[in-house]
Structures are given as structure tokens and as C-alpha cells.
Structure 1
Amino acid sequence: MQVVEGELPFRGFSTWYRVTGDLASGRTPLVVAHGGPGCTHDYVDSYKDLASTGRAVIHYDQIGNGRSTHLRDHGADFWTVDFFLAELDNLLTQLGLSHRYHLLGQSWGGMLAAEHAVRRPAGLKALVIANSPASMALWVSEANRLRTELPPELQATLLRHEQDLTTDHPDYVTATQAFYVRHVCRLDPWPAEVVRTFEAMVSDPTVYSTMNGPNEFHVIGTLRDWTVIDRLDRIVAPTLLISGRFDEATPATVQPFADRIPDVRWTIFEQSSHMPHVEERAACMATVGAFLAAHD
């Protein structure tokens, strides 16, 4: 399998990317946008499996993360949705994809992909929104509901450290992990690529802590008021929604996509939480692959 890696200049910084497969194969390429904000491409690496059908698959690390330029001294006014939309546009242009591509966004990447799609770019042939909320208000509401299902002592630990602003305390981290193994990735142990992403976020939490907050359910960052619900009817690309039965992106957080995007279908993976692409890898790849093939 042909694999090409490189770096693309963007506003004086550098976006790392990798192409798995042949961009000249004739099949519509797939661009994969990772989550976070503040993750890396590693945990969604499995989507490269789709290159086995002759489709080029493009992964990239958003600036601030992974192998792209890190900017630990940049504040909230720098890390914006518009910045990451412009970075995605730059990648599409420099790789010569703007006229024809599919886009898959996972978690925050799906929020970014929805923001991209509402602008109706001519080259977007199909959209996959994976494990993503349509608004952060819905996300926080559902995350707090899921929190109430944790053992009472863990709930008390989380609340105490949030009130004391000590969310870096080891006890808080341990309680957070109890939520993650229920609703983020249910595999035991976690796959190496998932571990790599979480280790990278610990190494440089700049983007995640600024835009999101200390974890998946205590959202106090700049995205806390984000919503795309009122613009979803502008999306014209055929859209696939995917989520897991135990996903922190619960059905309530995904429902507005299903209600408001005109051409949409939704698959829920019954044995998965937030990462069907690793928890039910073969089934997820088959579902996404069939959808993309129908819109090549």
C-alpha cells in the first residue's frame, strides 16, 4: 500500500498529513478529521483500512497537536472554529482535493465537518459525522446525566475537585477514567493508537484545555456555547451519522443532525461507545465503506 507523509504550510505554521493509497486511483478520496479538539490522528488511524478498496485516505494532525506545529503560548483568541476550518480548506487546496472529496469527522472532528458542510463546498461529495454532538449544551447535559450513573463516591470526587479547581488531582483523574471506560472506549486494554492520542494530550493539553476543558464532561472552554443546530438544513451533501450504543455522544446529542440534515441516515453500533472504529472495527469500516462507495 502506498503511503506518503508530508507537511503543508499554513499561516506560518505546519500541518502534518499522511495519504494512505493512491490519490490518482479514480475513487473519491476520504479526508479524516480527528477529535478533541486537541487529539491526534492516531486514535482514528483505523480508517486507513478503507484504502484497501482503492480509495486514498488522508489523515492529518490539526495544528497544535501531534506532528503539526505546537503553540503552547497561544490563547483562546487564537484557537477558534474558523482557524481549524481554514486549516482544513488549506489542506484540501494544497493536496488538490477541493474539487472532489469525502469528509469524515469524529467527535470534535464531526463538529468541524458539519461547520464545513453548512457552507456547501462544491467538492464535498459525502459527509460522515461520527460520534459527534450537534451542540455543546446537549453534550454537557447528557454527559452530566451519564455522570449520575457512576458510583456515588466517584461522583462526589469529581464534584469536590471541580469546586476546588483541582481537576489535575490524581483522584479526579482516576474518577474521570471510570467515565471514559464506560463511554469513550470500552475495550480492555485500550488499543495502542488510542493510548498514543491520550498520552499526546497529556503532553500538550493546550488546545483541549482551552477549547473544551479538563475532560469530556466538565466543559468550561471556549466551545461551551457552540451549536450548529440552526444551520444544519444548509447541508446538501449526503450524510451518514454513526454512534455507539454506550457513546458519550448519546442519541439526544446526535438527534438534531438526523432531524435537520435533508439527506441523512444513522447507524448505531450496539457494542461500542465513542469509538466504533476500534470497538467494532470491521463492522464500522464496512458501514462507512458502503456509504462512501454509494456516493463516489
Structure 2
Amino acid sequence: MKRCFYLFFAAIGLLFSCQSQTNTEETGTDSTSVAESGVQLIPIQTPKGEFRVWTKTVGANPTMKVLLLHGGPGMTHEQYGIFEDYFPQENIEFILYDQLGSFYSDQPEDSTLWTIDRFVDEVEQVRVALDLDKDNFYLYGQSWGGMLAMEYAFKHQENLKGMVISNMMASLDDYEKYAKEVLGPQMPEEVYKEVMEIERKGDFENPRYMQLLAEHHYPFHVLRKPMNEWPVLAVKTMEHVNPNVYVFMQGHSEFGITPGASLKGWDVKAELKNIAVPTLVIGATHDTMDPAHMEWMSKELPNGSFLLCPNGSHLSQYDDPEHFFPGLIRFIKEVDSGKF
């Protein structure tokens, strides 16, 4: 765990202390509470033994069930709290889910578990446990969750009814290029120069790094509101990140993947043509990810469609819900009715 993460998330917690609320979600310690709350603790088999991951099902629909893969890696289901304001009234069932290493799920301290292939296998075990199949199973992934969704589809698309890749590109090298050549220069010149100098030195424990990002990057490209106005659940998913997972896979940089991080060099552009299931790609004009690249992805997918959130950023469900949710709901229902 790195000091820069603690400094940043401690500052976030202090900033939002007036909004803080007790987490009252029942994690389900007996069969009655699990049944009543929709919570299920699913045993997952791994090369390092059995662990449990937390899921919570909201609603019930035999043909529209959406499993939500959170970002990070190592963040939490809380980024999808706002879905409860939109999906239930549309009769769309959805499943909140903390991946292994995240929040309510077990958090083993073994970095050999933090691989794409093992996470794909975990998602498959969750699918089986929740009785999801090609007649009802929609897989939604945002950011790292979008990477995981693509990787799952490469291996198990026969189990999918539909898929959503939200705010995620198909190449991390292309993401880094966009971040450094397009987003970075949008900062004041002296600020971006200082950020890049910190990155060049690898001085990520310098609190100045997160201070600059919190002022000049996050409120413009992660969630387009002043940080003291961010929704509580968006803040909590950052507060509750597991740095062990995040740093090992992603690294420290907000302008690419840190050298040595396990996701470095990930690129599946050439493989997108192999995903045949109906797929919606969601991008946003102010995203940390290149919206033009995400629109291109939708055209590479044989049954792809693109949704642009013109007022949104990386968490466009929060800063552009007026475009995000109608487009997402329309896709799910069109696939369900056979009109897609």
C-alpha cells in the first residue's frame, strides 16, 4: 500500500465528512438475511484456495439480469448505487458485485491472484452461482470492468445475452497516448509540466501529485463536478479502493499504466471482431478515455452500437444521467425484445 493513496483518500474522506453516512447494507450472515436482502456470498475456487465474493441482487426479471463489474481494479460496487434510481422502475434486475479483493468480498494478500484470467474465471463462477445464462445474462463493465467484460466475452460469450463496455478503450497504450497528448495539455501548462516531472521521477508518494490531480484532472474528466459536490457513493468507491490490487495491476499513474504494473501493454483491438453478442459501447465527451476510440470499437464489433454522453466524463452515470440511462435502458430492452 502506498502513502499517496492514503493521503488522497484520507483527504477525500475529510472533504466529505459532512456527507458521510453509515453503511447499512446487510452482508448476510444467515440464510434468512441473505434471502431478504438479496445478498449472496458466493464461494470462489482459486489456485490459492476458496474465498467468498459479495453480490446483491436488486429486482427480479427472468429475461433481463445485469451483472455489474466495477472499475479499479480494486474499487467497489458503490459506483453503481445510482442505478437503483433508474433500473427498478424499468423492471430490469441488476446485481451489485464486489470482485475478490474489494470491499465486502474477501481480500487475500496474494498478488498472484490479481490476473485477468483469474478474474475471468471468477466472473464465470459468479454467473453459474446466480443462474445467469444466454437467455437473461447481460454483462456490464465500466473502466477496468469493461476490460474484464471484454476478456470474459472472448472466453465465454456463449453465455451472454448482451454486453455493455462503458468508458473503456481496447488498448491501454492508446489510452496513455490520449491521456498524455490530449487530456494533459488541457491543464495549465505549468501544472501539467509539474505532474509529468513527478511521473518521470516516479515520485508518486509526493502528496503534490494527488493535490494537482484533485484540482485539475478529476473534476474535469472523472466526474464533472467540484469534488466537494461529488455524490457520496462516488466518493465511497474511491475511499474503499484496495490499493494492493489497484497498484499491482494499474500502477500509480493517472496518465497511463505504470511500468511494471501487470496490465501494461494490454491491447485487444484486433480481437474485437470475435465478439458476436449484441454489445453497447458507452463513451463520454470529457472522459479519461478517448470517445472516438470507443466509437471505433463499436464499429469493430459485429453487433456493436455506440452511445455518447455529451456532458459526461468517466463516471457518466453521475454527470450525464440524462443521456447515460435512457441509452443504456433502451439497449437492454431492444436486445430483450429482439429489436436490436
**Do residues 155 (structure 1) and 192 (structure 2) align?**
yes
2:251 aligned residue:
213
Secondary structure, counterpart of 2:252 in structure 1: coil
Secondary structure, counterpart of 2:162 in structure 1: strand
1:79 aligned residue:
114
Q: How far off is 1:3 after superposition?
A: 4.5
Q: How far off is 1:283 after superposition?
A: 3.0
2:123 aligned residue:
88
Identity of aligned residues (%): 29
Secondary structure, counterpart of 1:185 in structure 2: coil
Give me the whole-angstrom Cα distance separating, in 2, the residues matched to 1:98 and 1:27.
Answer: 9
1:20 to 39, 45, 58: 58
Bigger helix fraction: 2
Give me the whole-angstrom Cα distance separating, in 1, the residues matched to 2:254 and 2:121.
Answer: 25
2:330 aligned residue:
290
1:277 aligned residue:
317
Structure 1, unmatched stretches of 5+, are none
1:90-129 equivalences in 2 (<5 Å): 90-99=125-134, 100-129=136-165
Q: How far off is 1:31 after superposition?
A: 0.8
**Do residues 180 (structure 1) and 215 (structure 2) align?**
no
2:93 to 56, 62, 78: 56
2:275 aligned residue:
235
Secondary structure, counterpart of 2:41 in structure 1: strand
2:44 aligned residue:
10
Secondary structure, counterpart of 2:158 in structure 1: coil
TM-score (norm 1): 0.92
**Do residues 264 (structure 1) and 298 (structure 2) align?**
no
Residues 81-136 of structure 1 show CA distances to partners (whole Å, capped at 9, x for unaligned) of: 11110111011000111343111111111111111122353231111111001110
Q: 1:34 touches 1:109 (CA, 8 Å); kept in 2? A: yes
Amino acid corresponding to residue 219 of structure 2 in structure 1: V
1:136 to 172, 179, 194: 172
Q: 1:229 touches 1:256 (CA, 8 Å); kept in 2? A: no
Residues 34-79 of structure 1 show CA distances to partners (whole Å, capped at 9, x for unaligned) of: 11112111112222331322221001011111111112x322x331
Amino acid corresponding to residue 42 of structure 2 in structure 1: L
1:68 aligned residue:
105
Q: How far off is 1:167 after superposition?
A: 0.8
Range with greater deviation from structure 2 (249-258 or 175-184): 249-258
Secondary structure, counterpart of 1:69 in structure 2: coil
**Count of aligned positions:** 289
Q: 2:312 touches 2:319 (CA, 8 Å); kept in 1? A: yes
Give me the whole-angstrom Cα distance separating, in 1, the residues matched to 2:281 and 2:64.
Answer: 19
Give me the whole-angstrom Cα distance separating, in 2, the residues matched to 1:217 and 1:106.
Answer: 18
Structure 2, unmatched stretches of 5+, are 1-35
Give me the whole-angstrom Cα distance separating, in 2, the residues matched to 1:287 and 1:255.
Answer: 14
Q: 2:199 touches 2:253 (CA, 8 Å); kept in 1? A: no
Secondary structure, counterpart of 1:295 in structure 2: helix
Q: How far off is 1:163 after superposition?
A: 2.8
2:21 aligned residue:
none
Give me the whole-angstrom Cα distance separating, in 2, the residues matched to 1:218 and 1:236.
Answer: 29
Range with greater deviation from structure 2 (237-246 or 38-47): 38-47
Give me the whole-angstrom Cα distance separating, in 1, the residues matched to 2:297 and 2:256.
Answer: 23
- Structure label with greater radius of gyration: 2
Q: How far off is 1:214 after superposition?
A: 1.1
Q: 1:27 touches 1:54 (CA, 8 Å); kept in 2? A: no
Amino acid corresponding to residue 192 of structure 1 in structure 2: V
Secondary structure, counterpart of 1:226 in structure 2: coil
Secondary structure, counterpart of 1:118 in structure 2: helix
